[in-house]
Structure 1
Amino acid sequence: MIAGVLAEFGPWAWWVFGLVLLAAELLLPGVFLVWIGLAAIAVGLVSLGLWGSGYWPWEVQWIVFAALSVVFVIAGRRFYAGPAGGSDEPLLNRRGASLIGRIGTLGEPVRDGRGRLKLDDTFWPVKGPDLPAGTRVRVTGAEGSTLSVEAD
């Protein structure tokens, strides 16, 4: 059957197959079928030049297609992965860690190592040395929503 389709359409069968895969990517987005579709179109390009030769049977075409699909998918994933440096906002979902180094005023005294700190419009639970309310403190660490403080 495969040999019959390839013989009927010639190298254009790969082009049609590639375009069908690209159209399927529009219906099922995921940036995966696009690479396989491009591999089919690449095999179609090679087939235009090698179609009549004896060393380009349909079995070899499918092996080349499979290999190019793997190469294109790996290259595409690396292309879309972005820079290896990570996020430009590494503390985006770690609000407590983003407060390290800030200075604020204790809203409640720290007694037995626990108290509350007012930063901007939010009161944060804190741990640290015993200090009276109104003391300026610096945030030195964060553990969940509890901040570690020391006198400034």
Structure 2
Amino acid sequence: MWNYLQNLTYWDWLALGTLLLILEVFGAGGYLLWIGVAAACVGVITFIAPELHWAIQFLLFGVLSIVTAVYWWRRQRSAAKPSAQPGLNQRGQEFIGRQFALHEAISGGRGKIRAGDSLWLVTGPDLPAGSQVRVIGQDGVLLRVEPA
């Protein structure tokens, strides 16, 4: 084993890089991608300079793994921008401030409104069906309303 490590060739590094990239495809979540790229880079460097000592090859592999991972991490952080539609996946948020007619009377603090093509459960003071209410908030799937 020791003899093998002392005589690494560019094929060994390219094989390691390919293996890591294949494992990445099976769901490593990006962790093996940059280590695989670093192994491939060491393979290219070893192809250009085949007399490179094995310890320097491993050192290059470690440094390139860290550099590529940090580079990608910084790039991802700088590319993250707040959404132009912050309530996109929060369906009830779009109804806050709007008025609706009660579809079912609010009795015991619960009732229903028709908003868009759906019926929504609402909480608020007891009111008869057909009354106008304004949505003032959301608690999970329940909309909080007040008389309009």
TM-score, reference length from structure 1: 0.69
* Residues 1:151 and 2:147 aligned together: yes
Superposed, 1:62-101 pairs within 5 Å as: 62-77=58-73, 83-85=79-81, 90-101=86-97
Q: Deviations over 1:96-124 (max 9, x none)?
A: 33322332111233456443322234333
List gaps (5 residues or longer) in structure 2: none
CA contact (8 A) 2:5 2:54 kept: no
TM-score, reference length from structure 2: 0.70
Q: Which residue of the partner structure matches residue 130 of structure 2?
A: 134
**How many angstroms apart in 2 are the aligned matches of 1:134 and 1:24?**
60
Change (3 A) 1:92 1:74: same
CA contact (8 A) 1:22 1:34 kept: yes
User: How many residues matched?
Assistant: 147
Provide the identity percentage: 37
Q: Deviations over 1:44-64 (max 9, x none)?
A: 233344443xxx421222122
Deviates further, 57-66 or 129-138: 129-138
**How many angstroms apart in 2 are the aligned matches of 1:78 and 1:147?**
40
Give the superposed CA RMSD.
3.3
Deviates further, 17-26 or 64-73: 17-26
Q: Which residue of the partner structure matches residue 44 of structure 1?
A: 43
Change (3 A) 1:139 1:19: same
How much has 1:81 moved relative to structure 2?
7.2
**How many angstroms apart in 2 are the aligned matches of 1:112 and 1:22?**
59
List gaps (5 residues or longer) in structure 1: none
**SS at 1:104's partner residue?**
strand
**How many angstroms apart in 2 are the aligned matches of 1:91 and 1:83?**
20
